[in-house]
A and B are shown apart, each in its own frame.
Chain A
Amino acid sequence: MSIDLDRLASAQHPVARFIPALDHYPLLRKLLALGIFEIAFYIAYRYGMSFGQATASPFWFPDSVLLCTLLVIAPRSWWLFLLATLPVRLAVEVPPAPLWFLLGMFAIDCTKAVLAATLLKRFLSDPIRLSTMRDFGLYCLFVVVLVPASSGLAGAALRHALGHEYWASWEQWFYGDALASLIVTPLLFYWVLRPAFPRRDLFARQWLEPLLLIGGLLISTHLAFEPDSGTRGFADTRFYAPIPFLFWAALRFGMFGASGAVGLLTVFAVGTSLSGLGPFTGSTPIELAASLQQFLLLRAAPVYLAAVLFEHTRRVEWSLRESEGRFRYLADTAPVLIWMSGTDGLCVFFNKVWLDHTGRTLQQEHGEGWVDGVHPDDRERCLAVYESNFNARDSFEMDYRLRRYDGEYRWILDKGMPRYAASGEFLGYIGSAVDVTERRRQEVALRDSEERYREVVESQTDLVCRMLPDMTLTFVNEAFCRFYERDRSSLLGTNLIGLVPENAREIAADRVQSVILPRERCAWECEALHPDGSHGWRRWVCHGVFTPDGELREFQVIGHDITDRKHAEEANRKLDHAARLAAVGELTAMIAHEINQPLCAILSNAEAGEILLQSTDPPLSEVRRILADICRDDLRADEAIRRIRALMQKREMLLQPIDLNDAITSVLHLVAGDALQKRVHIRRELSSEIPPVLADRAYLEQVLLNLITNGMDAMADTAAEMRQVTVQTRRNDAETVLIAVFDRGHGISDEKMPHLFDSFFTTKAGGMGLGLSIARSIIQAHQGHIWAENCPNGGAALHFTLRVAAPVSVSTAVDSTGT
């Protein structure tokens, strides 16, 4: 049985148990302590002085009592207890000694006690426990050697002043103090101040050994110090009988047992010597004291040494056990699976978490039993990794599937590393594992998602790239690589500017930088240099990618090939130009027609007037009429020129998103008066679900006005109650909106239908025939279509389409001649 004496540190000293009860009465507590100290010091002083007045006591007990007291009370109270020893010194019946001697001894003893207590408190981890070699060594150095030796110098001086030999006095002083410190003080430490009694429950169960020990000690010491032992001398075996029991006490019960056993031996030795019995009889008092001191010194020193070694070993064992306990606690409570293997590679330990995870016992997992829980597909790899790293003494990390208690295989990430003893000896491996199933699932999902998006990006025909703020490429998609006929590795790290034609670099760089401050997407079109050297056009959309802190991280740029669109626009421009040229021809015809009519009238009138004036009796009234007609026709010509100039004015067409229904409503307000006059009912069928359209509002209203007016004019011969113009809007398809104007006139004949939108084709007297041709040009400039058809129930319908608004502003100049 190994009694855990350190646990006794929690067992309170009776006085310590008692005194805390007086926590609320500090003064009473202090007085009680002082009283107890006075009594103890008196007893020790009387006992110490009983050895003879002419020699120093073999054991100066008062020193031990005083030292122990100073060690347990607060230093601020030391002066009180030190002073309390003076009355005892003065009161105890002592041989006649001068007061100065007593006061000198008082001062030396006080100094000795204060010095010893201070040194012990300063250098020992626990001054009342000599449980380590270091503490015991320091205790011996300070309290057993240095303090007695140094105080002995002063004490010997005092004795010398009384006529005693100096060094003999010093020797007696030194040995007396040293022995008391070696025998009495530890006894007080372990039996009075903080008794290290065995635990009652343990003692109750294991009572036999202490009883045998005590019995053996008593018997052996009696044998060693029986009355006639002095006649046998020190050579007799019985004299050494107590020695085994002393070591038994030290090795089984540590300093507690050693101090008790030595104390018992001391009591016997001193008692028999004082009685004139035992092996020390026949000596002079000085020789007696010296013999006793040497005897006890030689017994106590090795026994205490053995006890300290035992304490040290026990403490180390306890630390190891505690460390192991801590490890086990951590191992079983940490949320990881822990395992350990020995030097042979076989597993010897699995923590609770591992066993709970697998649902198996330690015996089942022991050795290579854990392999049964590994997924069959992973076993071979798992063992290969483990064995190869084990043999190389390398750390490793591997993932494998481990069967859980419910049969499901869970992915485990296992990390193992070699472990070594403090001496460097290889002890085996220790590893920890965590369940990473969820993490793997998320990783797989993330990978799949990333792969999906990557496929989307890589399959794009548009060029997609990412670049740093300085336009260094960090990502390019497959289309980008194909376009520039370079592989990804040669593109990444290069500057995008290098791929842009020189004449477009400035605008490209400017557009990219314009994203930073407003943090908006920007788009621009610029020429693109194809790898084959041809030039094309590309529309780039750029936006910044910012960190959560708002710092620009990258640009993302997407380039869409618009070469075909640009070519189409160019073709359209050429067509427009051709059409414009044709219109110019038509314009010339229009000018000629509008001017020549009044000129013809003027000329004919003038010539007629000439003829009439040549007659003998010219009809002056007729001539006046002729002149008036000439003036009128001249003004007509001027009016015609003004109309032509108005039509000739170019106005920029600005397409932007507009509310179509709102524009129609405005036009209907304009024609309301005219409709009322012509007794035409205007009906609206305007859809509320159409989006904004891309149009120039003024031009659009011009077209609508023309169509609505045409519709009203077409019903000039229709019965008044039947006259109705219907304006309708609806969504045509995803990109266009349809507008229709219906009338209830006589419709459009098959002959006129093909020429309806021709310039100068008119069905109205006095009309120039430009309304529908201009309307067609306007609608075509809006990228829409316009056509006419007859309604099944009579009347005609004019339809045209407009594009749904997109966020791009396109500027086109439209010639009011309709080109």
Chain B
Amino acid sequence: MLEVRPLIAVVDDEESVRLALARLLRASSYEVSTYASGQEFLDSLQGRRPDCVLLDFQMPDMTGRDVQRSLAMAKLSLPIIIVTAYDQPSLREQCLADGAVGYLSKPLRRDALIAAIDAAIQGGNGAA
């Protein structure tokens, strides 16, 4: 039987970051789908839903928070890990309060990233 690898959605407007994270996650045995904007990600939810979302907070047009709210409004519960290039103390609490299951600041270390993803997936499986 083929093992279904978890699908991780990487939502970041920075192309180099998307590519690098996709490489790292694929090398870490994850499936990765990348999205350049929050709207693109939301439009993709008609298909296979990811098991975890790495969501960049600071994006043009639609910030990470906007995506969180859109998912909440659509009553879609997905494990979301907020990723930000500029860590602010209040931002962490705010994102977690909005429903994020993780909060990481760039640059992302592999072990921390994998641990957060695994925790998010397990938490989601537990909830499901």
- Write the residues of chain A forming the contact surface with B, with a CB cutoff of 8 angstroms: 588-589, 592-605, 607-608, 611-612, 622, 626, 629, 632-633, 636, 760, 762-765, 767
Contact = CB atoms under 8 A, between A and B. Distances in A.
Interface of B: 13-14, 16-17, 19-21, 23-24, 26-28, 58, 60-61, 85-88, 105-110
8 closest residue pairs by CB, A with B: A600-B106, A604-B20, A596-B85, A608-B23, A611-B27, A603-B107, A600-B107, A601-B16
Given A602-B20, A611-B24, 4 more contacts: A589-B88, A596-B106, A601-B14, A604-B17
Given A604-B108, A611-B28, A597 B16 contact: yes
Contacts of B108: 600, 603-604
A671 B3 CA distance: 57
A604 B24 contact: yes
Contact of A599 (B13, B21, B27, B106): B106
Of listed A589, A600, A765, residue having the most chain B CB within 10 A: A600
Nearest to A605: B20
A394 to B, nearest CB: 100
Contacts of B17: 597, 600-601, 604
A595 B13 CA distance: 15
Given A604-B17, A629-B16, A596 B105 contact: yes
Nearest to B111: A607
A431 B111 CA distance: 125
A343 B14 CA distance: 123
A345 to B, nearest CB: 108
15 contacts: A589-B86, A595-B85, A596-B85, A596-B105, A596-B107, A597-B16, A598-B16, A600-B20, A603-B109, A605-B24, A607-B110, A622-B23, A629-B19, A629-B20, A767-B60
A605 B23 contact: yes
A602 B19 CA distance: 10
A764 B27 contact: no
A596 B14 CA distance: 11
Given A600-B107, A607-B110, A632 B24 contact: no
A282 to B, nearest CB: 172
B20 A763 contact: no
A603 B110 CA distance: 9
The A interface, classified by DSSP as helix, strand, loop or mixed, is: helix
A667 B52 CA distance: 49
A604 B109 CA distance: 7
A762 B61 CA distance: 8
B51 to A, nearest CB: 19
B60 A762 contact: yes
Contact of B16 (A593, A636, A764, A765): A636
B40 to A, nearest CB: 12
B16 A608 contact: no
Pick the most buried of A598, A608, A622, A765: most chain B CB atoms within 10 A of its CB.
Answer: A608
Contacts of A592: 85-87
A739 B87 CA distance: 39
Given A589-B86, A603-B109, A607-B110, A597 B14 contact: yes
Contacts of A589: 86, 88
Contacts of A597: 14, 16-17, 85, 106
Nearest to B58: A593
A611 B88 CA distance: 31
B85 A601 contact: no
B28 to A, nearest CB: 7
Contacts of A594: 85
A763 B59 CA distance: 9
A764 B17 CA distance: 18
Nearest to A595: B85
Q: Which of B20, B21, B28 has the most CB of A within 10 A?
A: B20
Contacts of A762: 60
Residue in B13, B61, B85, B87 with the greatest tally of chain A CB atoms within 10 Å = B85
B78 to A, nearest CB: 22
A598 B14 CA distance: 9
B96 to A, nearest CB: 20
Contacts of B27: 607-608, 611-612
Nearest to B61: A763
A612 B25 CA distance: 11
A593 B13 CA distance: 13
